[in-house]
């Protein structure tokens, strides 16, 4: 079946299937990680919808909204190759009323870890995701584990607001050398990319340990030798993103954010004690 491109709500409504629908929300600049989300979505529903929308609400002052990579024609090729049924690519004017006043608050959980560094970021994320859920009306939505706090907050929003959509988290896809795939990787120079490998090395060093204190210590030591400008390194509960104590048992997220040159990257791994 030919790929349908819906540029507005009316086009989307015409394209929507009467069967089960899986949504993969993206900001475009699609890579192999996005392809993995599409493949998982294809296995879960009769129709796969991919949204391509660079959401202005989740960028703060001085962030990279204006230069965020926009590769729409190539993105369409990726979606066609993966058997996507519909690409929803609205304009900002179509997504947001000019007199918009109401949005979603990410609450206390949205103000810690990544949210402490990027105030208001998760409010913007949850607002656009809720709007996409309302417009697409998916049965299931697939998100990457690489954005672990985003995934946790979306699950919390679905639970708190009783939204009729199943949230599926997909594993992080990495380059052969361990660098997590990200649309922002294309900003990196050759030297920057070499330096950025310290992120995955730190996470692997931490994940090789068997207790929370040693996980933190091993990852911190690896980062200290890297020369990266680290925003945070945390070991947190995957559902709440609260720091776990040294006596913790169960699954935790070891998450890191750092700046490599002018590029800010995030990464994480799951650790079980």
**Does 34 participate in catalysis according to the annotation?**
yes
Q: 10 Å Cβ neighbour count for 169?
A: 19
Reduce the DSSP state of residue 255 to 3 states and report it. Answer: strand
Residue 148 CA to residue 67 CA, distance in Å, equals 24
Place of tokens 């960028």: 59
Reduce the DSSP state of residue 50 to 3 states and report it. Answer: strand
Which residues are bridge partners to 260 per DSSP? 263
Tokens at 258, concatenated = 């750092």
Q: Is the dihedral of CA 214, 244, 118, 24 positive or negative?
A: positive
Annotated binding site: 27-34, 58, 144-147, 150, 173, 181-184
Annotated binding site for (R)-pantoate: 58, 150
Q: What is the largest CA-CA distance in the chain?
A: 55
Annotated binding site for beta-alanine: 58
Annotated active-site residue in 12, 24, 26, 34: 34
Which residues are bridge partners to 26 per DSSP? 52
Residue 20 CA to residue 177 CA, distance in Å, equals 37
Residue numbers annotated as active site: 34
């Amino acid at each position: 079946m030919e790929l349908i491109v819906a540029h507005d709500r009316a086009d989307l409504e015409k394209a929507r299937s009467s069967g089960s629908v899986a949504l993969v929300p993206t900001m475009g600049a699609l890579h192999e990680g996005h392809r993995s989300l599409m493949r998982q979505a294809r296995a879960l529903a009769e129709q796969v919808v991919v949204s391509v929308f660079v959401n202005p609400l989740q960028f703060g002052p001085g962030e990279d909204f204006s230069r965020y990579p926009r590769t729409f024609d190539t993105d369409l090729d990726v979606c066609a190759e993966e058997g996507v049924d519909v690409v929803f690519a609205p304009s900002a004017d179509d997504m947001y009323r000019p007199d918009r006043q109401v949005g979603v608050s990410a609450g206390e959980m949205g103000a810690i870890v990544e949210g402490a560094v990027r105030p208001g970021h998760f409010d913007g994320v949850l607002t656009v995701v809720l709007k996409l859920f309302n417009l697409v009306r998916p049965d299931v939505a697939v998100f990457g584990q690489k954005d672990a706090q985003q995934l946790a907050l979306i699950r919390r929003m679905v639970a708190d607001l009783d939204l009729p959509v199943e949230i599926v988290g997909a594993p992080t896809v990495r380059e052969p050398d361990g660098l997590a795939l990200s649309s922002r990787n294309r900003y990196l120079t050759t030297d920057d990319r070499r330096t950025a490998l310290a992120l995955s090395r730190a996470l692997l060093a931490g994940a090789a340990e068997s207790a929370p204190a040693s996980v933190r210590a091993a990852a911190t030591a690896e980062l200290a030798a890297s020369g990266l400008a680290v925003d945070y390194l945390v070991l947190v509960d995957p559902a709440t993103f609260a720091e776990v104590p040294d006596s913790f048992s169960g699954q935790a997220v070891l998450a890191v954010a750092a700046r490599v040159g002018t590029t800010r990257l995030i990464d994480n791994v799951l650790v079980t004690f």
